């Protein structure tokens, strides 16, 4: 049984109305899909602020790899950076992130 045009129009509008929420969920799943990003998020959840070099030492990944992952997290608005000279430290933004691991 096919949907009539009225039902199709209603469902299309519901999808449009939910699109921002859907995009946010997709971004969150993307962010948690990489073990390095997930480790970074866990570190930042447990510390107020931590610098890139310390994250790299703890996770045992290169500074450039950590910087790349932090850049992705920052673009999505999950983390924010604080520069002091050559040192860049990161912390979580005010967005609530649930990390149940």
Rg (the chain; Cα; Å): 19
Q: Tell me whether residue 97 is in a domain.
A: no
Does residue 77 sit in the same domain as residue 63?
Answer: yes
CATH number at residue 77: 1.10.10.10
Within a domain: 61: yes
Residues 75 and 46 in one domain: yes
Instruction: Calculate the alpha carbon distances from 26 to 4, 8, 32, 59 in Å.
Output: 30, 24, 10, 25
Residue numbers of the domain that contains 29: 1-33
Q: How many domains does the chain have?
A: 2
Per-residue tens of pLDDT for the chain, all 101 residues: 788 889 888 888 887 777 766 766 666 677 667 899 989 988 998 888 999 999 999 999 999 999 999 998 888 888 999 999 999 999 998 765 665 54
């Amino acid at each position: 049984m096919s949907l009539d045009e009225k039902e199709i129009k209603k469902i299309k509008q519901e999808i449009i109305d939910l699109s921002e929420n859907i995009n946010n969920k997709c971004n969150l799943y993307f962010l948690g899909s990489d073990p390095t990003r997930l480790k970074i998020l866990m570190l930042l959840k447990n510390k107020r602020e931590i610098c890139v070099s310390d994250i790299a030492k703890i996770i045992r990944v290169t500074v450039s790899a950590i910087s790349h992952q932090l850049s992705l997290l920052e673009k999505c608005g999950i983390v924010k950076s604080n520069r002091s000279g050559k040192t860049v430290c990161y912390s979580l933004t005010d967005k609530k992130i649930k990390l149940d691991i």
